[in-house]
Amino acid sequence: MTRRYHFVIVFDEETKEWDIDIDGEEALFPNGSIFNSETMSYEYGYAGDGKFTGMEEELSEHISEQMDNWNLRQEKANA
């Protein structure tokens, strides 16, 4: 089985920061943001009770770390 993970990432011109847009993700992917090739359908990354589907938690952490790095670089560039 293959899962394809979709994330909505935004850049805010006012704050000059990158972030994962959970509201945008829910609006764009109302049935979940992970495409499961076995079932040919989308599923949610959060399974409830602190549990995540597949690699959702790990990938979210990696993306968040990268955005923190981008935001830090932007902050230093604007200083």
Judge contact between 12 and 20, C-beta under 8 A. no
Do residues 64 and 17 touch, judged by C-beta distance below 8 A?
A: no
> Per-domain residue ranges for the chain?
3-78
pLDDT, position 47: 87
pLDDT on residue 43: 95
Instruction: State which amino acid sits at residue 28.
Output: L
**C-alpha to C-alpha distance for 6 and 49, rounded to whole angstroms:** 22
Per-residue model confidence as pLDDT tens for the chain (79 residues): 799 999 999 999 998 899 999 999 999 999 999 999 999 999 999 888 988 888 999 999 999 999 999 999 988 888 7
Long-range residue pairs from 11-16, CB within 8 A, at least 24 positions apart, any chain? 16/71, 16/74, 16/75, 16/78
**pTM for this predicted structure:** 0.81
